[in-house]
A = this chain, B = another copy of it.
């Protein structure tokens, strides 16, 4: 009878907030709510109890659990194969948290999980810019740089469920320390944090004028660098040039791997638009094999920031069993 169930639940789990939506097969969100992840930092079991309770309340409005085909969850470091969250630096619980199993125990509804960037890729493929594409790479530019890779119409999970860590390929020349313990990782440069770090470094090592010098360098944000660049600050514009160039060089290598039809950019930093996409495209083209020059699309996400993660998780929910 599962074919008759008209809704799935999509859950976007973050370190601060966990958003929950009831979604139909066309990607329309019919009901939504959220809980504060942080309030249950002490015990993962308490978080699951609170999540199950919030879902039961939502279901009361739409006809009960028999209307739900499945639950999909996008969460940092969530593993599609095991259903667990494993060693997530941005969540309060350490070690391995059996997310899918514990939520299924509470609700009796099938649960599928994956990491947040993979969920965004599924959302983009189902409802966004990647509809109809069988080969593309989703890059999420938030605090860090996440990625979801789609090949032959399938999300790439890899041998162990952890594929698609493109934030941790190394930029060609650079030794900035990354949160993962390695040096020179792409996300240490190309992310909201990375842009702020570049600004801080350059403010120290360079002496040219910039409106950024009016700000406290220790608390500077990528949004402030963006605003300065849009107001004509050359120093800030150069930070985006540099960020885009490193990304473009990396993208050219990703093309060697899977020859995608497009890169889809998502997240706060992606909203910098041409400021980052122009230098990115230029550097990518300069580093591509002739076969691919002029052929690889770079397009912004077609989904609203606030909805994409829920929609992606929801699309995964149809496959939960």
Contacts and interface: CB of A to CB of B under 8 A. Distances in A.
Interface of A: 86-87, 134-135, 149, 151-152, 154, 156-166, 168-170, 172-173, 180-182, 184, 249, 252-254, 256-261, 287, 289-292, 295
Contact of A253 (B162, B169, B180): B169
B180 A289 contact: yes
- For the complex of A and B, the 5 pairs showing the least CB-CB separation, nearest first, are A158-B259, A163-B259, A159-B261, A135-B159, A169-B253
Nearest to A77: B291
A154 B156 contact: no
Contacts of A156: 151-152, 257-258
Nearest to A134: B159
Contacts of A162: 259, 291-292
Contact of A289 (B151, B168, B289, B290): B168
Given A135-B158, A165-B259, A170-B249, 12 more contacts: A86-B291, A87-B291, A135-B163, A149-B257, A151-B158, A151-B163, A158-B260, A160-B292, A166-B257, A169-B257, A180-B289, A182-B287
A160 B290 contact: no
29 contacts: A86-B291, A135-B158, A149-B257, A149-B258, A151-B151, A151-B163, A152-B154, A152-B156, A152-B157, A158-B259, A159-B259, A159-B260, A160-B259, A160-B291, A163-B259, A164-B257, A165-B256, A165-B259, A165-B289, A166-B257, A169-B253, A170-B252, A170-B253, A170-B287, A172-B173, A173-B173, A180-B289, A182-B287, A182-B289
Contacts of A158: 135, 151, 258-260
Q: DSSP class of A's interface residues: helix, strand, loop or mixed?
A: loop
A150 to B, nearest CB: 10
A135 B166 CA distance: 17
Contacts of A161: 259
Contacts of A181: 290
Nearest to A86: B291
A180 B290 contact: yes
A5 B291 CA distance: 38
A163 B289 contact: no
Contacts of A165: 256, 259, 289, 291
A221 to B, nearest CB: 27
A163 B257 contact: yes
Nearest to A180: B289
